[in-house]
């Protein structure tokens, strides 16, 4: 997992819960990196999982809810870092259905070692989209947060329903209906 995902995560934790919480979740995790991350480095996904678990235990907020809020923050990071990628799109349905064949393809060119999910488009119309998310990392709520913000970016909203195809969350169907 890319360092930028860790650095932005810890910054958000500091913003919302304070520096003490950052120190607390780092020291109660068993991190190969020692909790020192640089934006361009690459780190083990298990470190993110431990940090999320510790934060969840300390705050009583579920990991899914933490990932949702984190993704909403991460969207503005992506927007500022890759403005050109977003400018290609005029419509949220178009953008979300292009993650697999365009957006994450470009991401992989920048970071060849990025750990990305796949999004298979199952059904698409002007105002609705069904995609299947697949990833061993089961970060479907991170996807949900990014999708929410994608609609907001285009001054729109949507009703998004998640249907787990596998209990462990590694395969999830997203049913998206633009309002
Ligand atoms: C992960 C880039 C849009 C879904 C990532 C990562 C990057 C990235 C850098 C981290 C990879 C790693 O740590 O190795 C981008 C850029 C986007 C974009 C530049 C737009 C300009 C989206 C959107 C969605 C999405 C709109 C939602 C549908 C995800 C998910 C992950 C991810 C769910 C977590 C990894 C996983 O589940 O396996 N993306 N992304 N991305 N992205 Fe995107």
What per-residue confidence (pLDDT) applies to 42?
A: 96
Does one domain contain both 127 and 164? yes
Does one domain contain both 87 and 57? no
- pLDDT tens column, 122-158: 999 999 999 999 999 999 999 999 999 999 999 999 9
The structural domain count of the chain equals: 2
Percent of the chain exceeding pLDDT 70 equals 100
Contact 96 CB / ligand 1 (< 6 Å): yes
Contact 94 CB / ligand 1 (< 6 Å): no
What per-residue confidence (pLDDT) applies to 40?
A: 86
CATH value at residue 155: 3.90.1520.10
- pLDDT tens column, 57-108: 999 999 999 999 999 999 999 999 998 999 999 999 999 999 999 999 999 9
Does one domain contain both 7 and 41? yes
Query: Which of 42, 103, 133, 149 most suits a substitution to test ligand 1, by most atoms within 8 Å of the C-beta?
Result: 103
Does one domain contain both 75 and 44? no
pLDDT of residue 5 exceeding 90, the answer is yes
Query: Which residue do the tokens 């909790």 mark?
Result: 35
Token code pair at residue 91? 């419509």
Residue with the smallest CA separation from ligand 1 atom 5 is: 116
Contact 2 CB / ligand 1 (< 6 Å): yes
For ligand 1, the distance from its centroid to the CA atom of residue 116, given in whole angstroms, is: 6
Contact 99 CB / ligand 1 (< 6 Å): yes
Does one domain contain both 43 and 112? no
Residue with the smallest CA separation from ligand 1 atom 19 is: 78
Count the Cβ atoms, other than its own, within 10 Å of residue 95: 20
Cα–Cα distance, 105 to 119 (Å, whole number): 12
The last residue of one of the domains, among 14, 33, 61, is 61
What per-residue confidence (pLDDT) applies to 124?
A: 98
What per-residue confidence (pLDDT) applies to 46?
A: 96
Does one domain contain both 85 and 145? yes
For ligand 1, the distance from its centroid to the CA atom of residue 37, given in whole angstroms, is: 19
Does one domain contain both 57 and 78? no
The last residue of one of the domains, among 61, 81, 101, is 61
Domain extent, residue 94, equals: 66-178
Does one domain contain both 49 and 102? no
pLDDT of residue 115 exceeding 90, the answer is yes
Q: What 3 state SS string does the chain have?
A: CEHHHHHHHHHHHHHHHCHHHHHHHHHCCCCCCCCCCCCCCECCHHHHHHHHHHHHHHHCCCHHHHHHHHHHHHHHHHHHHCHHHHHCCCCHHHHHCCHHHHHHHHHHHHCCCCCCCEEEEEEECCCEEEEEEECCCCCHHHHHHHHHHHHHHCCCCEEEEEEECCCCCCEEEEEEEEC
Does one domain contain both 22 and 75? no
């Amino acid at each position: 997992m890319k360092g930028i995902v860790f650095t932005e995560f810890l910054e958000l934790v500091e913003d919302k819960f304070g520096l003490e919480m950052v120190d607390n979740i780092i020291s109660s995790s068993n991190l190969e990196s020692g909790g020192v991350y640089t934006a361009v480095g690459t780190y083990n996904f298990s470190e993110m999982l431990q940090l999320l678990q510790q934060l969840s235990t300390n705050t009583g907020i579920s990991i899914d809810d933490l990932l949702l809020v984190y993704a909403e923050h991460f969207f503005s990071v992506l927007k500022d870092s890759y403005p050109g990628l977003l400018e290609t799109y005029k419509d949220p349905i178009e953008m979300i259905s292009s993650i697999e064949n365009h957006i994450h393809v470009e991401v992989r060119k920048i970071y060849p070692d990025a750990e990305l999910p796949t999004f298979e488009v199952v059904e698409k119309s002007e105002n609705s989209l069904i995609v299947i998310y697949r990833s061993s990392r089961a970060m479907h709520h991170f996807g949900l947060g990014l999708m929410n913000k994608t609609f907001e970016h285009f001054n729109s909203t949507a009703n998004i329903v998640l249907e787990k195809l596998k209990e462990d969350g590694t395969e999830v169907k997203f049913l998206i209906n633009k309002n």
